[in-house]
Amino acid sequence: MTGSRLTVFSIVFGILYVVSFYYDLALFRYYPEVGEFHFLRNDRLGVVILWYGWIATSALASACIAFAVPRTLADRVTPGLAWIIPTAVVIGMLIYERRWFV
């Protein structure tokens, strides 16, 4: 993966992670009480961990986007976007997670 594609990957990853988390788009689910991974929801297996699945979804989708985006477009991504967009993503996530503290 070239430098500009790595930049695209990192920028898109944060956005897709928050989207995966918000819309529950985990690639798979882990049920720690039975130690099993499942692609589909199965409430009979106890508590579920979605975090691994969210990371897998965003990593896979970001890699696909980073490879698919035309080179000319990837080269036009400015260094500033590499920190501005992730910072905005983090701020948005923090605002959403205020729900735990009210």
Where does this chain bind another protein (CB under 8 A)?
A: 1, 3, 6-7, 9-11, 13-14, 17-18, 21, 30, 32-33, 35, 47, 49, 51-52, 54-55, 58-59, 62, 79-80, 82-83, 86-87, 89-90, 93-94, 97, 99-101
CB of 40 to another protein, least distance (A): 19
When the beta carbons of 23 and 100 are compared against another protein, the nearer one is 100
Of 63, 18, 24, 56, give the one whose Cα is nearest residue 37.
Answer: 56
Of 68, 80, 96, give the one whose Cα is nearest residue 11.
Answer: 80
User: On the CB side of 58, how many CA atoms lie within 13 Å of its CA?
Assistant: 22
CB of 76 to another protein, least distance (A): 14
Contact in structure between 11 and 25 (CB atoms under 8 Å): no
CB of 38 to another protein, least distance (A): 15
When the beta carbons of 32 and 73 are compared against another protein, the nearer one is 32
Q: What angle do CA 29, 32, 37 make, to 5 degrees?
A: 35
